[in-house]
Structure 1
């Protein structure tokens, strides 16, 4: 088959140009990425052979090989792993045809410095292209295990690449880098140097479970006979904590997660007894950009007796811990285990329960010992962790113990429910909370007025999941969780009782207005009543205690569930001059047409005050403009 030339996509060309003209401070990461790809290929071949013994593939000496030719200035990274077919090379290497590329380019432009930028290489799965940071030309030769014909891919990164089918290709993949000219002033980046290659492998890839061999340096056609193994190949999860440095753990985490940052926390677990397994888990220091998307790949790496089984085993941790990365090595599972078997295996369920409890206990320990580190964790992952309060009642108490929330008294800090309860006044019976889209919206909510005036602490909940978990949990230590935007509020001091008594006397005075407004706004509200929660605003909207909030209604509809629209209650502040004036006008005027517009405006203002949108924004603006004009 003749050689074919293809053009890169626009995004791929942009990516290549960034690599070719790289200003990254640490170009060494290219070798880390190529070795990581080779290791994955070896894992996949061993597993494929274990599952299908008839596969025509040699697995007797699986390894990664580095070979340098100083005279030709080439560096080859080879593996005898699973390899790729002609079509796979075109799909996986030739076009970078994945949705991550655009996101990678966007985040690359937003990276504040070169250290941030270089870390994005592996994170977005474009590690192969990091080779162009150090090479003028890259050649890839590969043959998929079980196939007879190989494929050669070649590019100078200038907008095109070539593909051709070739014969006599060994099983696996070879990536040959035609290195850029040597810089005599910078020997630290001479990738034909044996000591440099050893340094990079030791720093980034010592934990790789396959031997990484440096074959004898090529010069004048001679080749040393004995290759040198550069990595220790020790499984870090099988070693005690004092035998492994933090740097080694960090590099394993980066290899697994494709994150350039160090992990926030390292969690190690060794289970012995009837079912033995080892786990090495990591809490990241930063939430991935796609954590809340449907396509987010969650799960940890699963090994069985040091044999790699799968990359993203979802069954080992619940979805609300999907940010956790790591390795679990089980001793008693079948090597031929499938995802379907994992979903039903009782040992897997036992492991998930134990791992979940271990992660939560580690977060609790972090909260007590290192509040600053916990604050980072909660800022990045609190919203997803709270999902567990809804879906995992068995661990609800453990989850509540590690959750914290902003309050009206906490400033920039967060407090636990236990801390909130400990500082409640003796006469306060409930834990008060308010939900909203943002801290600013909540702070300006009319529902807060009476609580702010009386110094009562309120939880400020701004994550979408907050609308759900408060109902699922219901109470904490015998104290009911109560929304300040639902039901009638009785704050209960003596002075307030006097005010309430005065308002009861005025109820008869407002009875006509309340009934009339209820008729005027019948399509939108179920009741109009006087408020005990307002001190500044003229009106607000509240829900009955058991009603869905508008935000929760929207959430259910977004998930495709049909829910009926719930009418809400309009509360009026009888101490506000606008409400007083409206009541006087209602009693004095026969023609109430203009008052009907005022009632409509009052309702719309209550909707806007809580961050909502009037039913007819154009009409609202028109009415408001006319009223403003009359004041001039």
Structure 2
């Protein structure tokens, strides 16, 4: 059997095409792709501007104008005229044969399509957000002998197409007529149309007018010539207030020529949370693309709001956001570098403005300095930290103390700060956002600096021991105190330290707290989990209560002869030390405090009764 007879016959293949439900597509594009009805005007402006761009690419001297005419009486219609390249009957047929294919991809327009803002087909259908009927009358500039063509579509998905007499439109270009759908007339009202046109089209390169009023306002505020830098700051502050509603602390120029980006970043005058997503205004070739761009700058630059124009960034399908790609990533890095350079320039030449900025936005700079050692080195003299010496920079603090101790939580700092300060121990509060990481990175930018986490042993080592001559008389007191607190997993020691007003100091560390949490979980767990948690038991570190022998109250308690009363008093001191350290109270701690309180009340009332 030869090879031909051994092969199975191939089934015949008949090509098919998708059947497009135009009505469903209209509903999808006009009601689900876009976030707000307001975008209909942006789509109309985009189509008009792109048409003008296409014509001027072929006819450089062609007029460049877009005119919007509202129905000032009824407010139910809108007419948009442009002097663009126009459409022939074949163009319209080609456009409608494949919904979504851009008319700008037609032959002869390939060379300039990178200058276009959108796609005529999809953008026009977006007008059904507000219109029940769209009528387009167009005459091609490329084939001046071709008659004008009229395309009329309704929101039910139906459309008609016909040619018109030459006098119906003598000049090349396109006119789009909209008739408002019920309930949407407000979007075609004269004041609303002018407001939207200025919002979307203020930076467009052509003459755009609404009922004769100018829309475009060029050059952009950041590119205009001003008599002086002070005049420029005032003008840009006014521009910021109009766009964002605040007067900026400062203005950062954003220019990335290779990416075709020009604009400014306005520095917020009040502090904001780093978790709050910054929203920026981005224009694409002059047309406002979005006022909610969130990924334009690095996360650390949450203290600025940007407005810029670009010709390189890629919009999403709805053209209401930026497409995340390599170009956007490169632009984000470049804009972040501009903000970083602005901070460096302030540090070098304008310390007063830098101090004013850091007084509000030190958190953002600390976030940047975590990953940028050069920025940390630059900002060290300026960034404020809470320390036992007050608000200081790390650089100044390191000059005062041979070892920079730090705590990892605010509670730990609050607990030990008065004691450490009195003993001459320098401690930085590392409990605030980013502070701990920056303190640990200090040796990398200040060689020779010693940094250590403050622990219970370090504090204890700096506290004075009691006079050996007094220790025998205190032995019974310490024995009672240790027997009372031992069941709570807490050791007791007696030291002499300042300030005198602190009777007892509760000390623990992360290992102690971890072991305490593990033991509590083990006590509550069933047999299986108790066994697992038991296997995780470490070296059983214990918390420590340090009683202050210099405190008058502790001295009086240590001289009491009644062991029960001594125990009750020590329990009270333990509870007070816990509360001072802002430690959460376990059930056993709460029960102990209740017993101590009741015991002291009984003792006080018993003494009162005895006197009576």
C-alpha distance 511-149 of structure 1, shift in aligned 2 (>3 A): same
The Cα offsets for residues 185-221 of structure 1, whole Å up to 9 and x where unpaired, read as xxxxxx99xxxx99xx99x9995448795545xxxxx
The answer as to 2:248 corresponding to 1:263 is: yes
Displacement, 1:465?
A: 4.9
Displacement, 1:610?
A: 2.8
SS at match of 1:623: helix
Displacement, 1:263?
A: 0.8
The answer as to 2:554 corresponding to 1:571 is: no
* From 318, 325, 334, the counterpart of 2:305: 325
* From 608, 618, 622, the counterpart of 2:579: 608
Aligned to 1:529: 493
* From 269, 288, 299, the counterpart of 1:285: 269
Q: Distance in 1 between matches of 2:40 and 2:581?
A: 52
Q: How does 1:552-567 map to 2 (within 5 A)?
A: none
SS at match of 2:459: coil
Displacement, 1:502?
A: 5.1
C-alpha distance 389-178 of structure 1, shift in aligned 2 (>3 A): closer
* From 124, 133, 146, the counterpart of 2:125: 146
Contact kept? 1:360, 1:398, Cα under 8 Å = no
Aligned to 2:464: 500
Aligned to 2:219: 234
Q: How does 1:423-438 map to 2 (within 5 A)?
A: 424=400, 428-432=401-405
So what's the TM-score if we normalise by structure 1?
0.53
Aligned to 1:250: 237
Q: Distance in 1 between matches of 2:306 and 2:130?
A: 34
Displacement, 1:577?
A: 3.5
The Cα offsets for residues 133-192 of structure 1, whole Å up to 9 and x where unpaired, read as xxxxxxxxxx98515755599xxxxxxxxxxx999845998647999xxxxxxxxxxx99
So what's the TM-score if we normalise by structure 2?
0.54
Q: Distance in 1 between matches of 2:553 and 2:237?
A: 63
Contact kept? 2:271, 2:360, Cα under 8 Å = yes
Aligned to 1:88: none
SS at match of 1:603: helix
C-alpha distance 373-151 of structure 1, shift in aligned 2 (>3 A): same
Aligned to 2:596: 623
SS at match of 1:319: coil
Q: Distance in 2 between matches of 1:532 and 1:362?
A: 52
Q: How does 1:190-205 map to 2 (within 5 A)?
A: none
Displacement, 1:609?
A: 1.4
Contact kept? 1:287, 1:380, Cα under 8 Å = yes
The answer as to 2:434 corresponding to 1:419 is: no
Deviates further, 529-538 or 264-273: 529-538
SS at match of 1:386: helix
Contact kept? 1:281, 1:327, Cα under 8 Å = yes
The Cα offsets for residues 55-110 of structure 1, whole Å up to 9 and x where unpaired, read as xxxxx9997958696xx799999999xxxxxxxxxxxxxxxxxxxxxxxxxxxxxx
* From 503, 507, 526, the counterpart of 1:538: 503
Q: Distance in 2 between matches of 1:532 and 1:506?
A: 12
Q: How does 1:98-137 map to 2 (within 5 A)?
A: none
Displacement, 1:232?
A: 2.0
Deviates further, 304-313 or 204-213: 204-213
C-alpha distance 283-502 of structure 1, shift in aligned 2 (>3 A): same
Q: Distance in 2 between matches of 1:505 and 1:315?
A: 70
Structure 1: 5+ residue stretches without partners: 1-35, 51-59, 81-142, 154-164, 180-190, 217-226, 493-498, 554-561
Displacement, 1:456?
A: 6.8
Q: Distance in 1 between matches of 2:37 and 2:238?
A: 15
Structure 2: 5+ residue stretches without partners: 1-35, 51-62, 82-121, 133-154, 158-176, 519-532
State the superposition RMSD in angstroms: 5.8
The Cα offsets for residues 586-613 of structure 1, whole Å up to 9 and x where unpaired, read as xx66xx5554433332221112113345
* From 347, 350, 355, the counterpart of 2:335: 355
Q: Distance in 1 between matches of 2:471 and 2:510?
A: 22
C-alpha distance 373-309 of structure 1, shift in aligned 2 (>3 A): same
Contact kept? 1:211, 1:233, Cα under 8 Å = no
Structure of greater Rg: 2
The Cα offsets for residues 566-594 of structure 1, whole Å up to 9 and x where unpaired, read as 86432222322343444455xx66xx555
C-alpha distance 506-454 of structure 1, shift in aligned 2 (>3 A): same
Displacement, 1:487?
A: 4.0
Q: Distance in 2 between matches of 1:65 and 1:530?
A: 87
C-alpha distance 601-292 of structure 1, shift in aligned 2 (>3 A): farther
Q: Distance in 2 between matches of 1:629 and 1:287?
A: 53
Displacement, 1:529?
A: 3.4
Aligned to 1:42: 42
Displacement, 1:619?
A: 5.8
C-alpha distance 213-450 of structure 1, shift in aligned 2 (>3 A): same
C-alpha distance 236-312 of structure 1, shift in aligned 2 (>3 A): same
